[in-house]
């Protein structure tokens, strides 16, 4: 089981080492904080937080990087490599890639103005990964509220955790292909917001698919509670975002977070710690990868 002091003897400078590398990556590009946070989510939702997402495909093995939710979308792997090599320099063979990702996700949130917390550590790295598990495990943006709730519940995360964790969409960007259907076909959307987004996301499939728009129209590089205010104004970018405020059971949670940033922060922290606890490899399971892209 995980503990916050897992590496305190074996790698005393771990936190400062990770933080300075994350800091310089975010200084270069603020969006990188969002990208690192998302990598942690996409790792934890597929066979637990075990670094499976970080493995490159090989001729004999198809990993998760090219699964539908990740292909042309998941990014920041080079930054993870930089963090890991700084950590390897300080404490060779000690710290798992799964734990590096957990710390980098926390640091990203904090650096962009969100809360901080103590990260539980002691995860080990998977020797395998599964593209089909990633396709099945990560909810698509076309999900409705019941689908989101049941996917999160299946991993031990509550409906409240779902809403709090979705607040991660207070930072970062999405591709036109992820929100085209919403801005052209849906009615629970602010019309001037839809028009604004249509300007850089053509209706025809295949044109402008990779054009980007901020998930939070107000403060895309600040970790705040504007995401929830947007939902109340029917300015959620993804179909799945607006599902959280669409006349259903989660409306009251969204209202609460939009009125009370500190309740969002504390529930977000609780939910991040719960997500980080999803089926870790511990003891002698798995390994401590030297290079996050391949098994030892
Ligand atoms: C509730 C279900 C969720 C769905 C359906 C979903 C879906 C998506 C989609 C479609 C994108 C844009 C990808 C693209 O177009 O390339 C995205 C981006 C993002 N997601 Fe989620 N997401 C969910 C939950 C989460 C959670 C739980 C977190 C973190 C704890 C998270 C963090 C992020 C971040 C930070 C970005 C921006 C990444 C960047 O700019 O590189 N999402 N999400
Ligand atoms: Ca995983
Ligand atoms: Ca924001």
Residues 6+ apart with CB under 8 A from 58: 294
pLDDT in tens, 122-156: 999 999 999 999 999 999 999 999 999 999 999 99
**What pLDDT, in 10s, does the model give residues 85-101?**
999 999 999 999 999 99
Q: Is the pLDDT of residue 59 over 90?
A: no
ipTM: 0.99
Q: Give the fold, CATH level 3, of 14-138.
A: Peroxidase; domain 1 (1.10.520)
Q: What is the pLDDT of residue 147?
A: 98
Which residue is listed with tokens 């509220």?
Answer: 145
Q: Cα–Cα distance between 292 and 174 in angstroms, integer? A: 25
The rounded distance, in Å, linking the Cα atoms of 246 and 205 is: 26
Contacts of 281 (CB under 8 A, 6+ apart): 48, 50, 98, 123, 124, 125, 126
Contacts (Cβ under 8 Å, ≥6 apart) of 125:
50, 51, 96, 97, 98, 281, 286, 287, 288, 289, 292, 295
Q: Does 14-138 match 145-271 in CATH topology?
A: no
Q: Which of 31, 42, 120, 123 is catalytic?
A: 42
Distance CA 99, CA 233 (A): 37
The pLDDT value recorded for residue 156 is: 98
Residues 184-209 have pLDDT tens digits of 999 999 999 999 999 999 999 999 99
d(CA 80, CA 25): 10
Based on the residue annotation, tell me whether 42 is a catalytic residue of this protein: yes
Q: Which pLDDT belongs to residue 286?
A: 98
Q: Which of 196, 188, 272 is closest to 236 using CA atoms?
A: 188
Question: For 145-271, which CATH superfamily applies?
Answer: Peroxidase, domain 2 (1.10.420.10)
The binding-site residues of ligand 1, defined as CB within 6 angstroms of any ligand atom, are 31, 34-35, 37-38, 41, 73, 75, 139-141, 143, 148, 165-166, 168-169, 171-175, 178, 215, 238, 240
Residue nearest to atom 34 of ligand 1 (CA): 38
Establish how many alpha carbons lie within 13 A of residue 231's alpha carbon, considering only the half-sphere containing its beta carbon: 30
Tokens 């993870």 correspond to 80
Q: What are 280's two structure tokens?
A: 């870790």
- Structural domain boundaries in the chain: 14-138, 145-271
Backbone angles phi, psi at 33, to 5 degrees: -60, -40
pTM for the structure as a whole = 0.98
64, 115, 163 from 263: Cα distances, Å: 34, 11, 12
């Amino acid at each position: 089981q995980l503990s916050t002091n897992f590496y305190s003897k074996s790698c005393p400078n771990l936190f400062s080492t990770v933080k300075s590398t994350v800091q310089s990556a975010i200084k270069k590009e603020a969006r990188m904080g969002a990208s690192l946070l998302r990598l942690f989510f996409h790792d934890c939702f597929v066979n637990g937080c075990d670094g499976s997402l970080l493995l490159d495909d090989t001729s004999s093995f198809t990993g998760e990087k090219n699964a539908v939710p990740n292909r042309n979308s998941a990014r920041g792997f080079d930054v993870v490599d930089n963090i890991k090599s700084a950590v390897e320099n300080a404490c060779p063979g000690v710290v798992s890639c799964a734990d590096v990702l957990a710390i980098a996700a926390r640091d990203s949130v904090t650096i962009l103005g969100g809360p901080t917390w103590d990260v539980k550590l002691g995860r080990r790295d998977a020797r395998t990964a599964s593209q089909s598990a990633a396709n099945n495990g990560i909810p698509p943006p076309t999900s409705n509220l019941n689908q989101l709730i049941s996917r999160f519940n299946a991993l031990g995360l509550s409906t409240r955790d779902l809403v709090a964790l979705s607040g991660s969409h207070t930072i970062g960007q999405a591709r036109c292909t992820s929100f085209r259907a919403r801005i052209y076909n849906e009615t629970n959307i602010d019309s001037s917001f839809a028009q604004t987004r249509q300007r850089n996301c053509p209706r025809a499939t295949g044109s402008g698919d990779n054009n980007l728009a901020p998930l939070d129209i107000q403060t895309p590089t600040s970790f705040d509670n504007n995401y929830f205010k947007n939902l109340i104004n029917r300015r959620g970018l993804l179909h799945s975002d607006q599902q959280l405020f669409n006349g259903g059971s989660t409306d009251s949670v969204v209202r609460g977070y939009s009125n009370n940033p500190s309740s969002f922060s504390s529930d977000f922290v609780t939910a991040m710690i719960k997500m980080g606890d999803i089926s870790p490899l511990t003891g002698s399971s798995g390994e401590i990868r030297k290079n996050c892209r391949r098994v030892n």
